Structure 1
Amino acid sequence: MKKFLVLILSVLIAVSMFVGCGKSKSTSSTSEIFDSSKTYTGKFVNGKLTKPFHLKVVTPTDFNEFIIADKQGFFKEVGIIPEYTGVLPANVSLAQSVIKGDNDLFASGHVTTIASARKAGAKLKIVLHSMVDSPDFDKTHMTWFVRNDGKINSAKDLVEKKIAMSSKGSCAELLNAEFLRQNGVNVKNTQVIVMNDQQQEQALKQGNIDAAILHPPYNMKTKNDGGFKILTTSYKIGEAAGDGAVGGLAIRAFSEDFIKKYPDVVKAYIVADLKAQQYINKNYQQSLKIAADYLKMDVKDMAGNIYPDQKWIKPEQIEFWVKTAEKNKLTNFEVPGQIKAEDLYTNDLNPYYTGELK
Structure 2
Amino acid sequence: MKKSKKFYLLVSFSIIAILSLFTGCGNTKSNSSEIYDSTKTYTGKFVNGKLTKPFHLKIQTQTSFNEAIIADKKGFFKEVGIIPEYTGVLSPNVSLPQSVIKEDNDLFDSGHVTTIASARKAGANLKIVLTSMVDSPDFDKTHMTWFVRDDGEIKSPKDLVGKKIAMSGKGSCAELWNAEFLRQNGVYVKKTRIVVMKDEQQEQALKQGNIDMAIVHPPFNMKIKNDGGVKILATSYEIGEKAGDGTASGLAVRAFSENFIERYPDVVKAYIVADLKAQQYINKNYQEALKIAADYLKMDIKNMAGNIY
Query: Given the two structures, how large is their TM-score scaled by the length of structure 2?
Result: 0.87
Paired letter, 1:124? L
Residue 98 of structure 2 is matched in structure 1 by 96
Residue of structure 1 aligned with 2:180, choices 173, 178, 181: 178
1:1-358 → structure 2 map (5 Å cutoff): 35-36=37-38, 38-307=40-309
SS in 1 for 2:53: coil
Structure 2 regions of 5+ residues with no counterpart?
1-34
Paired letter, 2:138? D
Report the number of matched residues: 275
Shift of residue 176, structure 1, vs aligned partner: 0.2
Shift of residue 97, structure 1, vs aligned partner: 1.1
Structure 2 CA distance for aligned equivalents of residues 46 and 154 of structure 1: 56
Structure 2 CA distance for aligned equivalents of residues 34 and 157 of structure 1: 56
Shift of residue 137, structure 1, vs aligned partner: 0.4
Structure 2 CA distance for aligned equivalents of residues 100 and 88 of structure 1: 13
Shift of residue 173, structure 1, vs aligned partner: 0.3
Change (3 A) 1:203 1:35: farther
Shift of residue 183, structure 1, vs aligned partner: 1.1
Paired letter, 2:287? Q
Paired letter, 1:275? K
8 Å CA contact 1:165–1:214 kept in 2: the answer is yes
Shift of residue 91, structure 1, vs aligned partner: 1.8
**RMSD after superposition:** 1.2
Shift of residue 280, structure 1, vs aligned partner: 0.3
Paired letter, 2:234? T
User: What are the Cα deviations for residues 206-256 of structure 1, in whole angstroms up to 9, with x where unaligned?
Assistant: 101000000000000000000000000000000011110011011100000
Query: Given the two structures, how large is their TM-score scaled by the length of structure 1?
Result: 0.75
Deviates more, 1:67-76 or 1:45-54: 45-54
Structure 2 CA distance for aligned equivalents of residues 100 and 35 of structure 1: 18
Paired letter, 1:44? F
Structure 2 CA distance for aligned equivalents of residues 146 and 204 of structure 1: 7
Paired letter, 2:81? G
User: What are the Cα deviations for residues 153-189 of structure 1, in whole angstroms up to 9, with x where unaligned?
Assistant: 2211111111000001121000000011111111111
8 Å CA contact 1:37–1:53 kept in 2: the answer is no
8 Å CA contact 2:36–2:55 kept in 1: the answer is no
Structure 2 CA distance for aligned equivalents of residues 49 and 36 of structure 1: 16
Residue 15 of structure 2 is matched in structure 1 by none
Structure 2 CA distance for aligned equivalents of residues 89 and 166 of structure 1: 13
SS in 1 for 2:61: coil
8 Å CA contact 1:85–1:103 kept in 2: the answer is yes
Paired letter, 1:195? M
8 Å CA contact 2:36–2:42 kept in 1: the answer is no
Structure 2 CA distance for aligned equivalents of residues 35 and 303 of structure 1: 37
Paired letter, 1:240? K
Paired letter, 1:63? F
Change (3 A) 1:34 1:200: farther
Shift of residue 35, structure 1, vs aligned partner: 4.4
8 Å CA contact 1:110–1:249 kept in 2: the answer is yes
Residue 342 of structure 1 is matched in structure 2 by none
Residue 22 of structure 1 is matched in structure 2 by none
Structure 2 CA distance for aligned equivalents of residues 182 and 130 of structure 1: 27
Structure 2 CA distance for aligned equivalents of residues 37 and 145 of structure 1: 48
Structure 1 CA distance for aligned equivalents of residues 96 and 301 of structure 2: 28
Shift of residue 47, structure 1, vs aligned partner: 2.1
Shift of residue 120, structure 1, vs aligned partner: 1.2
Residue 32 of structure 2 is matched in structure 1 by none
Shift of residue 36, structure 1, vs aligned partner: 4.2
Shift of residue 111, structure 1, vs aligned partner: 1.0
